[in-house]
Amino acid sequence: MGSNTPRKAGSERGGRATEEMSYRTRLEETLPRVRETIAEAARRAGREPEEVRIVPVTKGHPLEAVEAILDAGLRDVAENRVGELEEKARRLRDDRVRWHMVGHVQRRKAPRLLPIVHLLHSLDSVRLARRFQRVVEDPEAPLRALVQVNTSGEEAKGGFEGRDGALRGLGEILEIARIRVEGLMTMAPLTDDEETLRSTFRRLREIHEEARETLPEYRGTELSMGMTNDYPIAVEEGSTMVRIGTALFGERPE
Ligand SMILES: *Cc1c(COP(=O)(O)O)cnc(C)c1O
């Protein structure tokens, strides 16, 4: 380091976050590229690019990343830890931001998350849903959430297990009045194997379609799937929200 020459954000993945390049400058380059990639994938699948919302994931990046997102005209921002989300929301104090939570939430942290979160992507147990039910005070302002499903079969991934687990869990959560289920979320394995990625996303869409047919209470419209490594495939398979960190902001600083 030591040089203050501006550096180009290297690779497709956005390069390393360096102090030499501001988040704003970096986004001017990466955001159009991500949008174009989404548009191409949507067209390949006969979808409209507007059906896919970019949810930038700023975890591990400074507040400047969130400010750059707002400057670029976006309002959705995601974090994966309650503490970091709280901290950023408190320091930023900008009510233009719609905060998304995409990581596992411990039940005891539900009360802290509730006042901040616009959409919880990672509702991964009935017990967590029941915890939120007790915390939401206003029945007219339910928690908006996506039910997380493990469609990859990977042990380490959170969420309800596969089709059966998802339909059963979804059925129980739909009975909880103060939660509004807006759709489903999944995470694919970190792999380059296209067929593995595709089938992980396709399974989520199939569960969503089956739920729409068999669970009258389910009116979800959102499929949160796709990250830097796999979002073009996720869009081809029907994603409505891609959660993108690295492709927008570069590698997360340690
Ligand atoms: C970090 C994270 C992302 C974004 O990952 P990138 O590979 O940086 O795009 C998306 N979803 C979840 C749940 C995450 O934790």
CA distance readout (Å), 155 to 148, 204, 242: 14, 17, 23
Task: Output the average pLDDT for the chain.
Answer: 93
Residue 207 is encoded by which pair of tokens?
């569960």
- Find out whether 105 and 117 touch, Cβ atoms under 8 Å: no
What is the position in ligand 1's atom list of the atom closest to the CA of 57? 4
pLDDT at 20: 58
- Phi-psi region at 119: left, alpha or beta (left = phi > 0; alpha = psi -120 to 50): beta
* Arithmetic mean of pLDDT, 132-161: 94
Kindly report the pTM of this predicted structure: 0.92
What is the position in ligand 1's atom list of the atom closest to the CA of 60? 1
What is the position in ligand 1's atom list of the atom closest to the CA of 249? 8
Ligand 1 pocket at CB < 6 A: 57, 59, 80, 102-103, 187, 227-229, 243-247
Give the Å distance between the CA of 3 and the centre of ligand 1.
30
Give the Å distance between the CA of 58 and the centre of ligand 1.
9
% of the chain exceeding 70 in pLDDT: 92
Residue 142 is encoded by which pair of tokens?
């339910």
